[in-house]
Amino acid sequence: MRVSIVGPAHPYKGGGVAHTTELAHRLRAAGHEVVIESWRAQYPSFLYPGRQTVDTPDGAPFPDVRRELDWRRPDGWVRRGRHLADSDLVILVVLSPVQVPPYLGILYGLRRRTRVVALCHNVLPHERKPYDRPLMRALLRGVDGVLTHSERQAGLARELGPAPVTVAEMAPHLPAGARPPRVAGREPAVAGRLLFFGLVRPYKGLDLLIRALPEDVLLRVAGEFWGGLDETRALVAELGLTGRVELRPGYVADEDVPGLFEDVDALVLPYRSGTASQQVWLGHEHGVPVIATRVGTLGDHVTDGVDGLLVEPGSVEALRAALAAFYRPGEPERLRAGVKAVDPGPSWDSYLAALLGG
């Protein structure tokens, strides 16, 4: 098949870029002719309060990437749609409703001359705006199929449009750089140290983790802060934790990820809400147990009491109790021994079958 994926690629960064790039590589390895239609300029800067691009790619860039799309040029959206009409399949990677206007321009240019699937990482955002639902309704009424990463997201898609919806668990797209040796029974951090890693946004619950931090345990926070550092720093100071909470603000390149995990006892994911996430797999691939809330797919990826612990979302008290249970004598070592390496192959086989056949 001739497959065109409309989505972000390097020099853009983040999980959506990693997934889009890995998807293109996997489709090509399966024998398809693939191109990524990426962006010259993806968003107005006020919609993304951070650095949108990086100089060095994470992982192997996909070789066939066009960068003709520009949010400032609606005429170009329609032109790209006309150009894509000779594809057998067009995949619109949906990360946010703000992408919908360009996608509607592409659909207008296509004039239904080829099959279009909306690959929705999130049908609606975690933190919603009044325009999100009408924009997504307009998009999902114009495509031939929808792929989501959970049944809950599929339900939202079915509410918004008539196109058939397929569900496929998001396959692992983990950093390709060097990883620390996976040694069973490796000693945990001497003083007790937990890790919170990734883009810091309110729904991810960092504030809950800071409030629940056990006595004599350290916390490392690494990632970009969506709304700035002020609120987090103020909370840390208010609770008297300045010496115990290490803040490493900024995007973490793939090559720097292993160093974050080499001296921590567990990765903690205290999300208030969630959809599909790579974070549990990321922790397990680096040999550490994961303490996560039962939201999105997090609960599906942690085997409670075997390779991590699960806790109900939104509660400081529940999280504090889970962290106390984790630090019972011998428990960090026992849970670390239960962590297994991640095998992405079978997951990607199922994912591609759902995407191409859905």
Write the CATH number for 277.
3.40.50.2000
Q: Residue 232: its pLDDT value, please?
A: 96
* Contacts for 14 with CB less than 8 Å, ≥ 6 apart: 8, 199
The answer to whether residue 31 sits within a structural domain is: yes
Residue 183 has pLDDT above 50, yes or no: no
Same domain? For 111 and 252 the reply is no
Residue 33 confidence (pLDDT) = 98
Assess if residue 182 is contained within a domain.
no
Q: How sure is the predictor about 307, in pLDDT bands with cuts at 50, 70 and 90?
A: very high
Residue 42 shares a structural domain with residue 159:
yes
Number of domains the chain contains: 2
**Do residues 308 and 321 make contact, with C-beta atoms less than 8 angstroms apart?**
no
Residues 125 and 95 in one domain: yes
The per-residue pLDDT for range 84-142, each reduced to its tens digit, is 999 999 999 999 999 999 999 999 999 999 999 999 999 998 778 899 999 999 999 99
Residues 351 and 283 in one domain: no
State whether 233 and 307 are in the same domain.
yes
Check pLDDT > 70 for residue 73: yes
Same domain, 20 and 167: yes
Whether 150 is in a domain gets the answer yes
**Residue 38 Rama label (left phi>0; alpha psi -120 to 50; beta):** beta
13 lies in the same domain as 132: yes
pTM of the model: 0.84
Mean pLDDT of the chain: 90
Q: Is residue 134, in this structure, part of any structural domain at all?
A: yes
Asked if 57 and 198 sit in the same domain, the reply is no
- Concatenating the DSSP letter of every residue in 124-174 gives S-SS--TTHHHHHHHHHTSSSEEEESSHHHHHHHHHH--S-EEE-PPPP--
Report the share of the chain in percent with pLDDT over 70: 93
Indicate whether 213 pLDDT > 70: yes
Residues in the chain: 358
| Tokens read off for 28 | 């090509």
Of the pLDDT bands very low, low, confident and very high (cuts 50, 70, 90), residue 336 is: very high
Judgement on whether residues 264 and 303 belong to the same structural domain of the protein: yes
Q: Do 59 and 136 belong together in one domain? A: yes
As beta bridge partners, residue 93 has 119
CA 327 → CA 180, 182, 211, 314, 320, distances in Å? 23, 21, 17, 21, 11
Confidence of residue 337 (pLDDT cuts 50, 70, 90): very high
Q: Is residue 330 part of a domain?
A: yes
- Among 17-26, 53-62, 228-237, 277-286, the range scoring the smallest mean pLDDT is 53-62
Residue 186 has pLDDT above 60, yes or no: no
For residues 351 and 299, state if they share a domain.
no
Is 198 in the same domain as 121? no
What pLDDT shows up at residue 49?
59
pLDDT at 353: 95
Quote the domain boundaries for residue 168: 2-173+345-357
- pLDDT higher than 60, residue 60: yes
Distance from C-alpha of 164 to C-alpha of 140, rounded to nearest angstrom: 10
